[in-house]
Amino acid sequence: MIFDFAHVAQIAPSCSNNQPWRFIFVYKEEQLRKLFTTLTPHNNWIEKASMMIAVFSNPKFDCAIKERQYYLFDTGFAVAFIMLRATELGLVAHPIAGFNEEQAKQILGIPEEMRLITFIIIGKHSSKINPVLSENMKLGEKQRPPRKELSKIIHINEYGNNLESQ
Ligand SMILES: Cc1cc2nc3c(=O)[nH]c(=O)nc-3n(C[C@H](O)[C@H](O)[C@H](O)COP(=O)(O)O)c2cc1C
């Protein structure tokens, strides 16, 4: 499975083909337990996960065009590809931001100059809803949360000309 994920991440597009993404696949129980201590309290559902993928990069690894820094954008592509592949394999892949970056970097030995951007939590589907989930999260398990109207996010030909005015 690790090679599956690694290969789809490898083919993601990146600015000047810089490939700024780096990953640590963590599945050793002892190491997972250490990482669980870095999670924010509402992320305690993760304690049932069988693998956490640490996703990190360095702003210097990728294009910066004035203030447009592409390392996060390009690494996001690689993450999305891994999520799609996990879904294809029948697994659940969930990215998170709720963790203590400094603590997690120390546990994993990630050098100071790197940004630990996310963990992708990998697990199996379960027919039982985890009781530690908040009411909102339980709802989200049954039905994906609402999306903004298309007219709020799409503009046609110029800013402010949205779908409603077509
Ligand atoms: C950058 C990012 C950070 C996220 N952080 C968390 C998190 O810390 N904990 C969590 O339970 N979900 C987290 N999520 C999941 C989002 O809450 C979820 O994708 C969103 O509510 C939409 O739900 P859906 O993906 O089921 O459609 C994160 C998603 C992204 C893209």
Residue by residue, pLDDT tens for the chain (166 residues) are: 899 999 999 999 999 999 999 999 999 999 999 999 999 999 999 998 999 999 999 999 999 999 999 999 999 999 999 999 999 999 999 999 999 999 999 999 999 999 999 999 999 988 888 888 888 888 887 888 999 999 999 999 999 998 777 6
> Are residues 108 and 54 in contact, defined by beta-carbon separation less than 8 angstroms?
yes
Closest CA to 24 of 50, 62, 56, 70: 56
State if residue 92 touches ligand 1 by the CB under 6 angstroms criterion: no
For residue 124, the cross-strand partners are 91
Query: Which atom from ligand 1 is nearest to the alpha carbon of 40?
Result: 8
Query: Which atom from ligand 1 is nearest to the alpha carbon of 46?
Result: 11
pTM of the model: 0.95
Query: Which atom from ligand 1 is nearest to the alpha carbon of 39?
Result: 8
State if residue 75 touches ligand 1 by the CB under 6 angstroms criterion: no
